[in-house]
Amino acid sequence: MILGHIGARRGSKGVPGKNFREIQGKPLIDWSLDMLFAHPKVDAVVVSTDDEEIYAHAIAKGALEIGLRPAELATDTAPKWGVWQHALEASEQALGQQVSAFLDLDCTNPLRVPEDITGALSLFETEKPDMVMSVCEARKNPYFNLVEPDEDGALQVCKKLPGGVWARQSAPKVYEHVGCVYVVAPEYLQTAKTIYEGRVLPFEIPSIRGFDIDEPHDFGLVQYLLGELNAGRL
C-alpha cells in the first residue's frame, strides 16, 4: 500500500494563497495531485491542509477524508515531519490498513515528471533505506565558492580542506535538498524525530526540475519552464 501525500497549508508569507493559485490553466496543487492519482504505483492519495477550499477540492478528486490538520500543524513554523506523522496516522485509520511506503510531493514543485516518482520508488524498493529524498547538484559549493565571515568579519570558505580547493570540479560533490519527491518508510516516520536520524538516500534529478515556488516572481519563471517541459525542450 503506497500512500501519496501532499501538504498544502493555507498561509504563505512569500506568496499568499500560492498552493491554490492558478498556473498554466489549473491550481498549483493539481500539478502534483493529478500526478499522484495518475501514477500506477500509488494506491491512495491524501492531502493535509488547514484550508477548507483545498480540502474540498482534494476530496472531490478522490483523496482520503481525514479532516483538516490540527491547528498546531498549520503554522509557518510547524515542522514538515510532524505534518507527515499526522497524515500517516490519519490515513491508516481511514484506510483501515497499514501503509508500506509514504510518498510525499511538495505542491510548490510542479516541474517533476512521472519518472521522478517511479525512480524514487524503485530506489526505495531496491535499497530499503529509511527514506529517499530528491536532490539536485548544488549550484554553489561550500568547499569552493560558498563563504562566511569569521570572528573578525573576514570572508572564509565555509568548508576547508587541506591545501584548499581551487577548481569547482575538484570539490566534493554536494547536493541541494529539493521537494520534488520523498519516499519514507512508515515505521521510520512513526519513530524518528527528524528527517536525518536514519539512512536517507539521495535521488538525483536535473536541477531545472527542482525549482521551487517561494516568491511572487517564481510563478512567471515556473510558468515558462512548464511550457518548455510540456513542449519537450527540457
pLDDT for 3-40, tens place per residue?
Answer: 999 999 886 666 777 898 899 889 999 999 999 999 99
pLDDT for 48-79, tens place per residue?
Answer: 999 999 999 999 999 999 999 999 998 888 88
5: left (phi over 0), alpha (psi -120 to 50) or beta: beta
Q: How confident is the model at residue 233 (pLDDT cuts 50, 70, 90)?
A: confident
197, 191 Cβ separation under 8 angstroms: no
53, 8 Cβ separation under 8 angstroms: no
Q: What does the pLDDT read at residue 170?
A: 86
- Provide the percentage of residues in the chain whose pLDDT is more than 70: 97
Q: What does the pLDDT read at residue 103?
A: 98
Q: What does the pLDDT read at residue 14?
A: 61
Residues 6+ apart with CB under 8 A from 145: 157, 168
61, 46 Cβ separation under 8 angstroms: no
In the predicted structure, residue 234 carries a pLDDT above the cut 80: no
Give strand pairing partners of 201: 132
Number of separate helices (H) and strands (E) present in the chain = 6, 10
Q: How far, in Å, CA of 76 to CA of 62, rounded?
A: 27
